[in-house]
Structure 1
């Protein structure tokens, strides 16, 4: 959260960081002009930050992992899905308040949002990062096989990096808008990761039907293939 606060202060204060932000944006736009064939891919990636796309992905992951944990008889099965839902619910509140307070203008080629809110931080970046990041955290303990765990653990950050860069590439946001949203996302996802750790600790500490610890016992249905807490 400290990084988000510092970036918010820098953008509000203006000066050298904001000028540097403009120079980075200019380099992105020059690269976009030199590679017009990538525009369609970049615009597609930007759409992953739409609520209509990102939220259903998180909802599906939360419902499935909650059902699987409950079916496995795990205590506090509801905690990780609830933490993910809370993070997603808090996100628009924080983003809207900061957008209205900072009221940063859009990049030069972007038509201003009719809502009147500013462009710092990037709502599309934050929405995609929280939704896909939380979904990955929920699914990671249930992933079977190394390939699935690598896809979730490494593929998700790469996808979110691509979404953020695409928003700058398409001139929808300044680079610092995107960077601030990533900082905010880390704070929200840390809560989801903490909920995973608490739920896992409760699972291993709960007695099974024979009265012994469930760690390695019959209560473990074999779906939990990861050796450590996610994230």
Structure 2
């Protein structure tokens, strides 16, 4: 099973369990209480949870989009549009799921499933990585992937440590962002409307031979004196 398929399955399972208040929800709340008991000091936990704030995520995404557009090679606008659309589409999807499931948070209230902060962090950092990884060396790509994973997981832990979300809320936010990034990645692999090669790029390279004339002109025969 692919990562996208697994995330879709987990999102469906988690949403169903939250709606019916199933056994997975009770286990999730027990896990959340255990994780909070192991929380680090407030300052680092709060800093990690803040990675999903729009004040942090949107400037980061804007920088990644700008760098992608400025990279040599041209025709980068379509991937930028695809990943930007994925982040924009994430907002109504998260809000719709929050209203539909109406799950209470660790500190009370309602509308905590899925975590918007977790989804924002994963979508923005994942989208930035996909936009910029093409211009990095193999070692740099591996380091960037590791950094993204550390920040995304750290953000999720920070949200649970501070009592802002249950672990299942965070997992659902991650799964939703992965599904959106998979869709954006598939769309970005195709050229966008109007994103075509210039005419000069479509000319086949000349191999040094004269092109064959498909219809050579007929040589007119000069009439002889006896004709």
Matches within 5 A, 1:151-170: 151-170=143-162
Structure with higher Rg: it is 2
2:65: which partner in 1? 62
1:180: which partner in 2? 172
RMSD between aligned alpha carbons? 2.6
After superposition, the Cα gap between the structure-2 partners of 1:45 and 1:153, relative to the gap in structure 1 and judged at 3 Å, is same
1:118: which partner in 2? 111
Corresponding residue to 1:135 among 103, 123, 128:
128
Matches within 5 A, 1:102-113: 102-107=101-106, 110=107, 112=109
1:84: which partner in 2? 83
How far apart are the structure 2 equivalents of 1:167 and 1:83? 28
The two structures have a TM-score, normalised by structure 1, of: 0.77
How far apart are the structure 2 equivalents of 1:46 and 1:178? 11
Q: For this pair of structures, how many residues does the alignment match? A: 197
The two structures have a TM-score, normalised by structure 2, of: 0.78
After superposition, the Cα gap between the structure-2 partners of 1:135 and 1:4, relative to the gap in structure 1 and judged at 3 Å, is same
CA offset at residue 212 of structure 1? 5.1
- Structure 1 residues without counterparts, runs of 5 or longer: 214-231
2:92: which partner in 1? 93
Q: Is the 8 A contact 1:140 1:153 kept in 2?
A: no
CA offset at residue 147 of structure 1? 3.5
After superposition, the Cα gap between the structure-2 partners of 1:111 and 1:137, relative to the gap in structure 1 and judged at 3 Å, is same
CA offset at residue 209 of structure 1? 4.6
After superposition, the Cα gap between the structure-2 partners of 1:73 and 1:31, relative to the gap in structure 1 and judged at 3 Å, is closer
After superposition, the Cα gap between the structure-2 partners of 1:208 and 1:135, relative to the gap in structure 1 and judged at 3 Å, is farther
After superposition, the Cα gap between the structure-2 partners of 1:210 and 1:100, relative to the gap in structure 1 and judged at 3 Å, is closer
CA offset at residue 162 of structure 1? 1.1
CA offset at residue 15 of structure 1? 2.4
After superposing on structure 2, the runs of 4+ consecutive aligned residues of structure 1 that deviate more than 6 Å are: 205-208
Q: Is the 8 A contact 1:57 1:131 kept in 2?
A: yes
How far apart are the structure 1 equivalents of 2:88 and 2:157? 24
- Structure 2 residues without counterparts, runs of 5 or longer: 1-7, 206-227
- Listed one character per residue, the Cα deviations across residues 187-210 of structure 1 (whole Å, up to 9, x for unaligned) are 0110232234335xxx9x988758
1:27 partnered with 2:26 = no
1:198: which partner in 2? 190
- Listed one character per residue, the Cα deviations across residues 115-159 of structure 1 (whole Å, up to 9, x for unaligned) are xx510000100011111110111010011x333211222221221
2:56: which partner in 1? 53
